Amino acid sequence: MDVEQIISDLRTLYPQNFFYLRHDPFYVLISTVLSHRTRDEITYRASSRLMDKFRSAQEMAEAEVSEIEELIKDVGFYRVKSRRVKEIAEILMYRYGGEVPDNCELLLELPGVGRKTANCVLLYAFSKETIAVDTHVHRISNRLGLVKSSTPDETEEKLKKILPRSSWKDINELFVQFGQNICRPVSPKCDICVLCNICPGLF
């Protein structure tokens, strides 16, 4: 399967940059934590409200949890996430002088940060060469037959072996949009899919 052609076809379909209103590391980190089990449009609004109020790790570390809750109450599990982002901010202040580390292992030590979140920070905030694999990337990679894997971490590992590095930065952005609009988990819109001619129909 021509992976580069898949990316080209999806880039034609989705030519605009999709993720993150801002690219500073703290914003990307916090907004990605808020995005877990929450629709993108809700995440963007909540992240904007929160980061307009608390613009740095120091300001958020000093905030009351109740203040954070009020600003992000639209997101899923907002009470848990309120405590989590405050704890993240406190750790950033204590360990890293308020800066977000650009190292995957250090990011993974932060509460609520898994590989997808860490890779989003590395990719979108620090322009590192990596692949951020969420449920859309995992599902579509398997549906298209690019990989055969059972977990997002395994998908990341296998995609890195078969994709040229020049394509890594595109995969998450394109597959998420494609997965939300066309290649949905249930009732995918195969009749209007630009990749229907090459999809093996694994679903």
* Cβ-Cβ contacts under 8 Å for 13 (sequence gap 6 or more): 177, 178, 194
| pLDDT tens figures, 97-117 | 999 999 999 999 999 999 999
- CATH number of 169's domain: 1.10.1670.10
Question: Rg of the Cα trace of the chain?
Answer: 18
d(CA 49, CA 46): 5
Residue 38 and residue 71 share a domain: yes
196 labelled binding-site residue:
yes
Model pLDDT, residue 157? 96
Residue 38 and residue 11 share a domain: no
Model pLDDT, residue 104? 97
- Does the pLDDT of residue 18 top 80, yes or no? no
Domain that holds residue 169: 3-16+130-192
- Among the candidates 106, 125, 144, a domain finishes at 125
DSSP 100: P
Q: Is residue 200 part of a domain?
A: no
Residue 114 and residue 96 share a domain: yes
| pLDDT tens figures, 35-83 | 988 888 899 899 999 999 999 999 999 999 999 999 999 999 999 999 9
Per-residue pLDDT band for 202 (boundaries 50, 70, 90) equals very low
- Among the candidates 75, 93, 125, a domain finishes at 125
183 labelled binding-site residue:
yes
Residue 99 and residue 48 share a domain: yes
Model pLDDT, residue 15? 80
Q: Is residue 112 part of a domain?
A: yes
Say how many residues make up the chain. 203
User: Do 168 and 114 meet the contact criterion of CB atoms below 8 Å apart?
Assistant: no
d(CA 50, CA 67): 9
Residue 97 and residue 79 share a domain: yes
